[in-house]
Homo-oligomer: A and B are copies of this chain.
Amino acid sequence: MEDRNGDRMRIGELARHVGVSARSLRYYEQRGLLHSRRDANGYRRYDAESAERVGRIRELLAMGLGTDDIRELLPCAQGGPGLIPCTLSTGALERQMAQLDAEMAELAGRRAALTAYAQVMQRRRAQDEALATMALRSA
């Protein structure tokens, strides 16, 4: 029972399986997002559940969450009982949504400023060309 072959993957296999570099898997473990058993070698062993867990981590990363938020959020994301964790972790979600809104507003502002700037430049270039044409004509 102790060496049940439930955890049959080493890090390279899991990496290929989920399409994530071994480097990242070690990083996730270092950040407390992913756990592994160890062989007598010291080699990491993963079970099938780890693959799903990595999938959830990737999803949350893709949403722009940081590893700290994800660590807080993961116990809720999986099927555990975790009623209280869930309630708490929505804080991270709301924080992230607010931050995303702020960033989008920031980008929109930049875009507007950039557009205005480009228009000014465009106008000045047209003016320059007109002046050049006049200079040519007078020559």
Contacts and interface: CB of A to CB of B under 8 A. Distances in A.
Interface residues of A, number: 37
B93 A114 contact: yes
Interface stretch (A10-18, A32-40, A44-52, A105-113): A105-113
A97 B121 CA distance: 14
Copies of this protein in the assembly total 2
A100 B96 contact: no
Q: Does more than half of chain A's interface fall in helix, strand or loop, or is it mixed?
A: helix
Interface in A96-127: 96-97, 100-101, 103-104, 107-108, 110-111, 113-115, 117-118, 121-122, 124-125
A12 to B, nearest CB: 29
Interface of A: 59-60, 62-64, 76-77, 81, 83, 86-87, 89-90, 93-94, 96-97, 100-101, 103-104, 107-108, 110-111, 113-115, 117-118, 121-122, 124-125, 128-129, 132
